[in-house]
Structure 1
Amino acid sequence: MKIVLLDGYELNKDLNWHLLQDLGECTFYDRTPVNDQNEIIKRISDAEIVITHKTPLDDDVISKAPKLNYIGIMGTGYDVVDIKSAHKNKVVVTNIPTYASDAVAQFTFSLLLEATSQVGLHNRLVHENKWSQVPDFTFWDKPLLELKDKTLGLIGYGHIAQKVAKIGHAFSMKVIFYNHRPKKIADTLAQQVSLDELLKKSDVISLHVIQTPETMHLINNDTIAKMKNGVILLNTARGKLVNEDDIKKALNEDKVYAYATDVVQKEPIDSDSPLLKAKNCYITPHIAWAPYETRERLLNITIANVRAYLSGNPQNVIN
């Protein structure tokens, strides 16, 4: 059984794959060039099991890997794999749907609190001796906002969003949500509304949907126009959910108060990204998923998925 891990750098540097090595002959790559299709094909040409994090596996790649029977995605989103092609070629694909729910919910509020409480800014100013130079016991350089009684709108209402809803209640926020497939169960944490109502009523909007053709550029000039003036937008889902030129315009015109995101359209970010020229834009380098404990859980579930597949009872199958 030949197993190939295409891009394990984020886990390889401080976690151990020895349990996967017990399941077959393993080849580990820290990184695989995502734009070099020939190299991807070369690396998986005789593999039966392939594990990928962000290395894309499209129809051309999958169809040229004749021994391939299983693809394990090290994450929740599965846009890096052509699912239709996998199905056509009888390749089982699994993902890891809930490994980072707590970490991403925590990080969602880290972004929101940075935008509203300005901890990073004022910490820097204190270290630059700005506080020592004022005559008062206090000072602030940007407005500080309180979350109590603000309306938090969640676009998407899966595991992460439901945890975000709980945290929102802890801050005495009113929570509403929109889900493309209406939830049939009553929820005491959040009120279900239409997308237009969510855009109209929310003081804070947080994105929690996967990237699909339908959700690409969900946030654009048209949807932004329906939002409150001064809305805060959070994104810990996918960068391509947001039209970055449109959000830059909205930020610079003060329609949107702040955009706080852990993801961007092209990762790593381009040096000429429009977001880098936008006011009140907070950007972190796709780290919501990255606490040690979360990555350790990711590794363990990845191995458990492979083990379940080999036993004939695959779990977390998405095709």
Structure 2
Amino acid sequence: MNIVFLDRDTLAPQIRLREPGFAHRLTSHGRTAPPEVAARIADADIVITNKVKVDATALAAAPRLRCIAVAATGTDPIDLAACRQRGIVVTNIRQYAVNTVPEHTFALIFALRRSICAWHDAVRAGRWQAAGQFCFFDHPIRDLAGATLGVIGDGVLGQAVAAIGRSLGMRVLMAGFKGRHDQGALYTPFDRVLAEADVLTLHCPLLPETRHMIGAPEFAAMRRKPLLVNTARGGLVDEAAVGPALQAGQISGAAFDVVSVEPPPADHPFMALLHRPDFILTPHVAWASDEAMQTLADQLVDNIEAFVRGQPVNVVA
């Protein structure tokens, strides 16, 4: 079996990728640019990719290809329809980030709710010494206990975030689908969540119906000036509307781990917000604890071995 890993650098170097338990040749590329994909997978039986796109054109150049093992949960980079036509099995990784993403989400929430970055910058600038006493009060500090947490997305990660919120004494609202009011007592209508949340966190997939689900009209409906946190997918929020919402005081802070274009170009709206103490941008690392990445790597090889045994698991297509 000829296995080609198109973007090994998307896993940290300390993460061990064990050898599959069958005769194989593994070729790992740190990165693969779009024009290089077709040539690199031309003789592959199995392709591993995290974020490198494998489209119909590349698939047409790979007559031996039988399986694409995605080293992530999202399968956006893969032309699934073309794979189905060819009978190529596509697998993905599941439930590996059940601790790391919720923890990162709350790290961002705590940092904003308690103005951690602003306090650190103030101390670094000598403000503590200038205050002349044991503390000073330049920035707001708010408890989470008693606050309302709005969670958009009720999958494993959304439920884990909700559980942490409850353990901290927060009132948790699980948002219903936008525009729907008939989803039962477990869900709160989307527009009501916007109006009542002190913290709003996104944990849903990027689909045509969820793209820009938060934009200028939604910011205007946020009566309690909540924190907005997105560790899910870039594109769920109209990114050009975030700066104006912060400037107008419609939200009290925003933290993003994902952007619609990664890495964001120099003229991306977020790059003009990095000086603000109420805005945090991390480089798509909510998923990337050592523990989570090792779980991902182990499951990745498990998926490949299961496919070769003729018993594929975690099949997307």
Q: TM-score, normalization: structure 2?
A: 0.92
Contact 2:16 2:294 in 1 (8 A): no
* Number of the residue aligned with 1:97: 94
Distance 2:47 2:282 in 1: 29
1:156-192 per-residue CA deviation (whole Å, 9 max, x = no partner) reads: 111111110111012111111125499x9999xxx41
* Number of the residue aligned with 1:273: 268
* Number of the residue aligned with 2:109: 112
* Number of the residue aligned with 1:160: 157
Percentage identity across aligned positions?
34
Distance 1:186 1:102 in 2: 28
Q: CA deviation at 1:138?
A: 0.8
Answer with 295-304 or 120-129: which moved more. Answer: 120-129
Contact 1:148 1:171 in 2 (8 A): yes
Q: Residue 59 of structure 1 is aligned with which of 56, 59, 64?
A: 56
Q: CA deviation at 1:252?
A: 1.4
Contact 1:122 1:140 in 2 (8 A): no
Q: Quick check: 1:25 aligned with 2:39?
A: no
Distance 2:236 2:68 in 1: 25
SS at match of 1:43: helix
Distance 1:247 1:123 in 2: 24
Q: Residue 201 of structure 1 is aligned with which of 196, 202, 205?
A: 196
* Number of the residue aligned with 1:294: 292
Contact 1:229 1:254 in 2 (8 A): no
* Number of the residue aligned with 1:249: 244
Distance 1:151 1:16 in 2: 40
* Number of the residue aligned with 1:84: 81
Q: CA deviation at 1:23?
A: 5.0
SS at match of 2:38: helix
Distance 1:74 1:267 in 2: 17
Q: CA deviation at 1:127?
A: 3.5
Distance 1:60 1:140, change over 3 A: farther
Q: CA deviation at 1:10?
A: 3.5
Distance 1:53 1:98 in 2: 16
> Matched residue pairs, number?
312
Task: Flag structure 2 segments of 5+ consecutive residues without an equivalent.
Answer: none
Contact 1:44 1:50 in 2 (8 A): yes
Answer with 300-309 or 142-151: which moved more. Answer: 142-151
* Number of the residue aligned with 1:233: 228
Contact 1:79 1:211 in 2 (8 A): no
Aligned residue identity for 1:73: V
Contact 2:10 2:50 in 1 (8 A): no
Q: Quick check: 1:220 aligned with 2:220?
A: no
Q: Which has the higher contact order (CA 8 A, sep 6+)?
A: 2
Distance 2:31 2:21 in 1: 18
Contact 2:176 2:183 in 1 (8 A): no
Distance 1:308 1:232 in 2: 43
* Number of the residue aligned with 2:311: 313
* Number of the residue aligned with 2:4: 4
Distance 1:230 1:277 in 2: 21
1:109-162 per-residue CA deviation (whole Å, 9 max, x = no partner) reads: 001001111223323332443212212211133211111211111111111111
Distance 1:85 1:228, change over 3 A: farther
